[in-house]
Amino acid sequence: MAEQFSFKAEIQQLLDILIHSLYTDREIFLRELISNASDALTRVQFESLTNSNLVDAGAELYIEITPDEEAGTLTISDSGIGMTREEMVENLGVIAHSGAKAFVQKLKEQQAAGGQDVIGQFGVGFYSVFMVADKVRVVSRSAHPEAQAFAWESNGSDTYTIEPSDRETRGTDIIITVKEDAKDFLKPWKLSDIVRRHSDYIAYPIYVGEPKEGEEQEAVNKQVAIWRQESKEVTDEQYDEFYKMLTFDWEKPVHHIHMRADVPLQFYALLYIPAGSEANPLMGRREPGLKLYARKVLIQDNTTELLPDYLNFVAGVVDSEDLPLSVSRETVQATRVMANLKKTITNKVLNELKRLQKNKPEVYHQIFEAFGRHIKQGVVVSPGEREDIEPLLMFPSTKTASADEWITLQQYVERMAENQTDIYYVIGDDYASATRSPHLDAFRQRGIEVLYFVDPVDPVLIMGLSEFSGHKLRAADEADIDLSNVGAVSADEEAPREALPEDQFTGVQERFKAVLGERVTDVKESKNLVGSPARLVTSDHNPTRNMFRINRLMDRDYELPVKALELNPRHPLIYNLSGKLAADPQNPIIDAVIEQVFETALLQDGIHPDPASMAARLYQLMQAATERSGWHDCRRMAARRL
Ligand code: ADP
């Protein structure tokens, strides 16, 4: 007696979309079913390593595709692990496939619009069969000896049935009654073609059609473990194709690393660097980790123990000859072999990145653009590997042409100015505003290069990067930087204006102190400012001093650091203020200017908590500046407003 069940609501939606899709690439249903069959084979192969009590213990592992034009059916069979009755309910009655879930979700969001074009970019899993099926019958017998065969059947409407069935051997048959407009899928040549295009690297033989009388049947797919081939035997297309099968990323990888090692460990690896940090946005993030095989047997899908976290953007396959086959998924981590594999593979990836940086700078640029943040994270969290990671870092600088033109720390050091021993950087919220930073005045004047640290993670980076090959890294806003002997002021630089006489400057300085109070730690005369009237400097050398920027980004609580204000005694604005003070110390424009100087300095460091709050004062200052009789009348005006 067949029992009837209802599909979960989300499956009904998915089925509805699939059945009514006019989708031209519906051949991918075959890829999905073959992939499921391959998984079932891998699972039984794995299980048989430790459990000899399985149905057909020694049976060949294969996939068979049998079209029957007369009956209008297509059958995909495998000798895999099979399913019990419970497993059928569990696996074929709910959406197991994360891709399918994301797909339904996406479709709900953008109802219909463009929906049909995206099916191919998903693995929608088993249900994709309903793009070509009027009816599907799944007959399966689990490999576990006491289990019985059952048949699951559905026409893709709201319900499915399950009934006892017979199948002598272990495994699964998916019997598809093909839709009228999908009869093409009953042609053996067409099926073979699809298999070769989408499933060539499946590790088990895929047979298409009945064997001819007296002939040994040949598998349609290559079944090679591509990573075990000589790299000169593999074409770029094959590498890319394999990557797509592996990751479902539709963009080509930027680079692949095909390696084979014999001593001290024997293993094969095929690694890829994806083009972007978000693989398929509809599929969600790819899970980090490599596929781990032991002598061609898949042990674990997302093995994160083979590369450090900061390289987890690398995708690929590792196949070891040294891991014991009896290794279980749980004990894999603990083996010494794993630690050695990790070391060797990590070195290889780092060396390869270095090589690209040198020989294929455009490729490396693309990689660093997508994954530079991962690499920076490595500097902070893997201090032991710092020396290998640091050369990979790149930054724009005051001597590069744009935000997208970067140099390495090594390049920086090689072209340091005369007598320069430290490496200078300026932190900013973005490149454009950092280029206008007042901290750069003196560096520019003396021809000293400064790196722009304008990536939001850079404040974290400097916690791990205090020096590079013997040179200290120093922020351009550190109060105690003395550049007087470093570099040289270029000859065509205009002779600087005289500094304001000491006693007059003190007057201005005292007024700033009085107005700003606790908002600054001190007000000092600057030795470094050239074209700017003021800047905020810090004497805090604690590497965590910029963490507030991260906290602010993440909407966490943070406190603005209180810094010292430096004034430029040569700047006309400071001269003017001094004049105003002498003429009438009560003139309210003086304090308004002081406030604005301070807030502008905050703004230039990207740490003004509320820039819009300056608007009222700015209007007031503009109004004063445009009064017909000049600054003198502003007192009356200001008295009204302040
Ligand atoms: P996914 O393969 O991503 O898990 P599917 O919807 O394609 O999602 O398949 C759902 C589940 O059904 C699989 O996870 C598996 O447990 C089971 N299944 C599908 N096909 C087979 C098969 N040929 N042999 C054994 N189990 C299968």
Q: Look at 16 and 188; give whichever has higher pLDDT.
A: 188
> How many Å lie between the centroid of ligand 1 and the Cα of residue 554?
40
Query: What average pLDDT does this structure show over 498-504?
Result: 94
End-to-end Cα, the chain, rounded Å: 90
Indicate whether residue 38 lines ligand 1 (CB < 6 A): no
Tally of domains in the chain: 3
Q: Are residues 36 and 182 both part of a single domain?
A: yes
Which CATH number covers residue 42? 3.30.565.10
Q: Are residues 247 and 323 both part of a single domain?
A: yes
Cβ 543 vs Cβ 466: under 8 Å: yes
Indicate whether residue 139 lines ligand 1 (CB < 6 A): no
Nearest CA to ligand 1 atom 20: 36
Which CATH number covers residue 602? 1.20.120
Indicate whether residue 125 lines ligand 1 (CB < 6 A): yes
Query: What average pLDDT does this structure show over 91-105?
Result: 66
**156: pLDDT confidence band, cut at 50, 70 and 90?**
confident
Q: Are residues 258 and 130 both part of a single domain?
A: no
pLDDT recorded at residue 21:
62
pLDDT recorded at residue 367:
96
| Mutate which of 29, 39, 62, 162 for ligand 1 pocket (most atoms within 8 A of beta carbon) | 39
> How many Å lie between the centroid of ligand 1 and the Cα of residue 150?
15
Lowest mean pLDDT among 35-44, 327-336, 505-514, 525-534: 327-336
Which residue among 160, 175, 208 closes a domain?
A: 208
Nearest CA to ligand 1 atom 19: 36
Sheet holding 471-475, edge to edge: 451-453, 423-427, 471-475, 467-468
Indicate whether residue 132 lines ligand 1 (CB < 6 A): no
Q: pLDDT tens for residues 378-396? A: 999 998 899 999 999 999 9
Q: Are residues 39 and 174 both part of a single domain?
A: yes
3-state secondary structure 387-406: HHHHHHCCECECCCCCCCCC
Indicate whether residue 97 lines ligand 1 (CB < 6 A): yes
Q: Are residues 194 and 331 both part of a single domain?
A: no
Query: Which helix (H) or strand (E) covers residue 352, if one does?
Result: helix 336-359
Q: Are residues 510 and 567 both part of a single domain?
A: yes
Nearest CA to ligand 1 atom 25: 82
Give the SS3 label for residue 582. helix
Q: pLDDT tens for residues 390-449? A: 999 999 999 999 999 999 999 999 999 999 999 999 999 899 999 999 999 999 999 999
> How many Å lie between the centroid of ligand 1 and the Cα of residue 317?
22
Nearest Cα to Cα of residue 223 among 32, 20, 34:
34
Residue 476 lies in a domain: no
> How many Å lie between the centroid of ligand 1 and the Cα of residue 80?
11
Nearest CA to ligand 1 atom 11: 91
Q: Are residues 352 and 271 both part of a single domain?
A: yes
Query: What average pLDDT does this structure show over 511-535?
Result: 95
Q: Are residues 99 and 183 both part of a single domain?
A: yes
Nearest CA to ligand 1 atom 18: 36
Cβ 394 vs Cβ 368: under 8 Å: yes
> How many Å lie between the centroid of ligand 1 and the Cα of residue 38?
10
Nearest CA to ligand 1 atom 1: 97
DSSP secondary structure, 244-271, as one string: HHHH---SPPSEEEEEEE-SSS-EEEEE
Most confident listed range (137-151, 155-169, 209-223, 315-329): 137-151
Query: What average pLDDT does this structure show over 111-117?
Result: 48
With a cut of 80, say whether residue 330 has pLDDT above it. Answer: no
Indicate whether residue 261 lines ligand 1 (CB < 6 A): no
pLDDT recorded at residue 641:
45
Q: pLDDT tens for residues 170-224? A: 999 999 999 999 999 999 999 999 998 778 878 899 999 877 777 788 999 988 8
Supply angle C-alpha 115, 117, 121, rounded to 5: 100
Residue 382 lies in a domain: no
Indicate whether residue 40 lines ligand 1 (CB < 6 A): yes
Q: pLDDT tens for residues 224-274? A: 889 999 999 999 999 998 898 888 787 899 999 999 998 888 999 999 999
pLDDT recorded at residue 115:
45
Q: pLDDT tens for residues 588-609? A: 999 999 999 999 999 999 889 8
3-state secondary structure 474-516: EECCECCCCCCCCCCCCCCCCCCCCCCCHHHHHHHHHHHHHHH
Percentage helix, strand, coil, to 5, in the chain? 45, 20, 40
Indicate whether residue 143 lines ligand 1 (CB < 6 A): no
> How many Å lie between the centroid of ligand 1 and the Cα of residue 92?
7
Cβ 100 vs Cβ 59: under 8 Å: no
> How many Å lie between the centroid of ligand 1 and the Cα of residue 152?
13
- The percentage of the chain sitting over the pLDDT mark of 90, rounded to a whole number, equals 62
With a cut of 70, say whether residue 630 has pLDDT above it. Answer: no
pLDDT recorded at residue 302:
87
Residue 481 lies in a domain: no
Q: Are residues 231 and 204 both part of a single domain?
A: no
pLDDT recorded at residue 97:
54
Q: Are residues 195 and 240 both part of a single domain?
A: no
User: Would the pTM count as exceeding 0.85?
Assistant: no
What average pLDDT is seen over the chain?
Answer: 88
Residues 6+ apart with CB under 8 A from 491: none
Query: What average pLDDT does this structure show over 605-616?
Result: 92
Most confident listed range (98-102, 156-160, 568-572): 568-572
Cβ 115 vs Cβ 17: under 8 Å: yes
pLDDT recorded at residue 109:
62
Indicate whether residue 170 lines ligand 1 (CB < 6 A): no
Domain that residue 351 falls in: 226-363
**613: pLDDT confidence band, cut at 50, 70 and 90?**
very high
**408 secondary structure, DSSP code:** -
Ligand 1 atom at shortest distance from the alpha carbon of 126: 7
> How many Å lie between the centroid of ligand 1 and the Cα of residue 368?
37
**24: pLDDT confidence band, cut at 50, 70 and 90?**
low
Supply angle C-alpha 106, 107, 109, rounded to 5: 65
With a cut of 90, say whether residue 524 has pLDDT above it. Answer: yes
Query: What average pLDDT does this structure show over 345-351?
Result: 96
pLDDT recorded at residue 101:
64
Type of residue numbered 417: A
Query: What average pLDDT does this structure show over 155-163?
Result: 89
Q: pLDDT tens for residues 52-92? A: 899 998 899 999 999 999 999 999 999 999 999 999 988 88
Which residue among 300, 330, 363 closes a domain?
A: 363
Which residue among 180, 208, 236 closes a domain?
A: 208
**46: pLDDT confidence band, cut at 50, 70 and 90?**
confident
pLDDT recorded at residue 556:
87
Ligand 1 atom at shortest distance from the alpha carbon of 125: 7
> How many Å lie between the centroid of ligand 1 and the Cα of residue 579?
83
Question: Rounded to the nearest 10 degrees, how much is the dihedral formed by the CA atoms of 217, 221, 223, 224?
Answer: 120
Q: Are residues 242 and 193 both part of a single domain?
A: no
Indicate whether residue 96 lines ligand 1 (CB < 6 A): yes
Which CATH number covers residue 249? 3.30.230.80
Indicate whether residue 37 lines ligand 1 (CB < 6 A): yes
With a cut of 90, say whether residue 638 has pLDDT above it. Answer: no
> How many Å lie between the centroid of ligand 1 and the Cα of residue 530?
70
Q: Are residues 187 and 248 both part of a single domain?
A: no
| Cα gap 115→131, rounded to integer Å | 14
Indicate whether residue 84 lines ligand 1 (CB < 6 A): no
With a cut of 80, say whether residue 17 has pLDDT above it. Answer: no
> How many Å lie between the centroid of ligand 1 and the Cα of residue 600?
62
| Cα gap 76→36, rounded to integer Å | 10
> How many Å lie between the centroid of ligand 1 and the Cα of residue 138?
11
Question: Rounded to the nearest 10 degrees, how much is the dihedral formed by the CA atoms of 82, 88, 90, 94?
Answer: 120
> How many Å lie between the centroid of ligand 1 and the Cα of residue 126?
7
> How many Å lie between the centroid of ligand 1 and the Cα of residue 94?
11
Parallel, antiparallel, or unpaired for β 133-141 and 171-178? antiparallel
Give the SS3 label for residue 627. coil
